[in-house]
Structure 1
Amino acid sequence: METMSSTTCKTAKYTHIITEGTHYEVGRALGAYYKQDSAFIAFMSSPFMGAPPLLPDAACKVMESFGAYCPGLNEEIQGFADELGIAAETVVFYYSYLQPSGHCTQAAFTSSPAAGGHSCHMRTYDFGWEDEPYNQLLLTTTRVKGKPAHTGFALQLFGRYDGMNEAGLTVTTTSGRIRPVMTGEGFVFPGVVRALLDSCETAEEAVLLLRSMPVSDYRNFLISDAAGSTALVEAAGTHKEIQYQAAAAVSTDKLVISANHYTLPPMQVHNLQLMENSQARYDAARLALTGEQMAKDPVAAMKAAAGSVYPAGVCCHHYSEGFGTLWSMVCDNTACEAHVCFGSPQLNPWRTFGFGGPAGVTAYTAVLPDRPSAPGFWSNVSS
């Protein structure tokens, strides 16, 4: 464990919001909660990162795309807009082709059938400590009528960084390339993750939907389900490669890891910015998530791996440089429980979330300890 004696610490506020009903009712509830937050409303109804407003034809095309691949989401956004008295087409989430990149690590594990076939999934989300409204630090449990409930971290309210639904399907992401130039046409990760959690119950269903979706992002999607099937989807612009493993085809422990670079052979040409820290986190996760402890209690082993400090582990505290652990999540697909740590696991507790509980809002605080990175941390080792 690194020492904290020379660390600058910041206290961050996290929110867990539970909404339920139809998509439209969920949207109205979100609007009602944020109604008095003028800064957040301005952020949610302004073009993303200074872009020009969407032209009517472009707005219609985006809405049609969400209608086709994530049915009901337009109604959720409409409910939010109606509650706030703004035009739905101005909601920032529709600027779906340009999003910030985070630096993350993720892993999915299924024990062998002889060991019970326990399926679980780990992720850390690492970025800077920008204040609201840019960074909402919002965990949401969404119960929409007719769809599986899901719990995950929200991006611009309607998208998801990650999450698990009540069928035991987990979807997480890591950026494959840092600050890429987005030139293709299609969805970026928040819309993709939301669509999969809303519409799918198995990794196979998620892969089928992802194959059909137009995606234009430099992103790695890791998918796992309660049965133990996994999929690693690596996307570079409009190029997608998918490695799917059905649970029935695996007879031994299975581990899939992803950091901030591509690992599938056809994607190596896209590794233009393989950071030293990405390879180091990938190697540390692989070492931590093998062995006796992993076989005995994979959830505990994943929590330990998420809380081990770089370079021995994947937890980072370089928030002022744009690379600090904002949250960690271990999803127990078999038990349908999401174990979440707000902030660094070095200084903050793990909490367990399911899909129940009354609609409403709960606030949490977490400590974020800032330290400078070591020399070479940001080095490009792809050449």
Structure 2
Amino acid sequence: MIPFNKPYMTGDELYYIKDAVNRGKISGNGYYTQKCHNFFKKTVGFRNCLLTSSCTDALEMAAILIDIKPGDEVIMPSYTFVSTANAFVLRGAKIVFADSYTNNPNIDANSLKKLITPKTKAIVVVHYAGVACDMDLIMDFANENNLFVIEDAAQAIDSYYKDKPLGSIGHLATFSFHETKNIISGEGGMLVINDERFDKRAEIIWEKGTNRSAFFRGEVDKYSWVDVGSSFLPSDVTAAFLFAQLENLQKIQSRRKILWNNYYNDLKQLESEGLLKLPEIPSYATSNGHLFYLVCKNIEERSQLISFLKDNDVFSVFHYVSLHKSPFYIEKNTNVELKNCDTFANQLLRLPLFYDLHMEDQNKIINLIKSFFQKNQSL
């Protein structure tokens, strides 16, 4: 079976983990945590960042930092993972779901204006598949209405909006290093802080609501409980694993982009024949090779294609179920119609894409897809 995903190891992960252990400090905010922070600041250009145990943790930190309270409204796409919504629901927010574009799973920026009310506090955007949302338009709406913007950039490492790295545009941003992402640490995430007013409080929330980090820097004579917070920081063992990956970022990205382009170029003919739809990258965005998907004509065709690929030892998967149709949401809210979101929920299919995917295996997948659609076309 060709799997959907296979975690890639650079070869240095165990070496750095052993080094972290030998240094005698494997709890959070150690030597390798700082090396990862410095990488993102110096190499990527983020002004400030904090590693977290997951992207979910980073989102929860963002919700605390912008002071979400019961009754506040937060706009976000319905086509996203549940963590995007849960982080704000936990603080009492009402989630207002927005639709996707017709040709792109990202949030339809043009729909935001009608969703903003006096209770709106933030807009959360999700850069699906590492492809940028229309950030200029989104930031314009936010600035006009005094709203915070959080970038859920879980899938968006090494991807850009115009010349800006994703995660550097909103007030806050979050990343994932889950084993399904381009750069991994098993579980792991990061909060990026682009607004300096959040710097000090973010560190306190990160350290369980204490000023512990300031104490170790010698800025205070003792540390104590000064704010809400939790244990959001990861072990330095996790950071050591992550650093080995970061050192190989461009190598990993180069390989994934080759695989992404192979799919796109070899399946383009099927799209030109009207048999399926492929990802559409807006002129302001780039692809980081995170995932490759195709869009079938309907849910029945997608189910048939999944079964056909599985019967031929290829594991493909669909993605998100529309959050606005989830039992948890419907129980507490009136149902809304988001046609484009439902289209992607019912028709989008992700294909295997990982560093160690061999060319012969990718060619097999491509040929199987071609044979499936050619057979269906002849029926």
Per the TM superposition, whether the score is higher than 0.5 is no
Largest Rg, 1 or 2: 2
Give the number of the structure whose residues are more often helix, by fraction.
Answer: 2
State the TM-score, normalized to the length of structure 1. Answer: 0.25
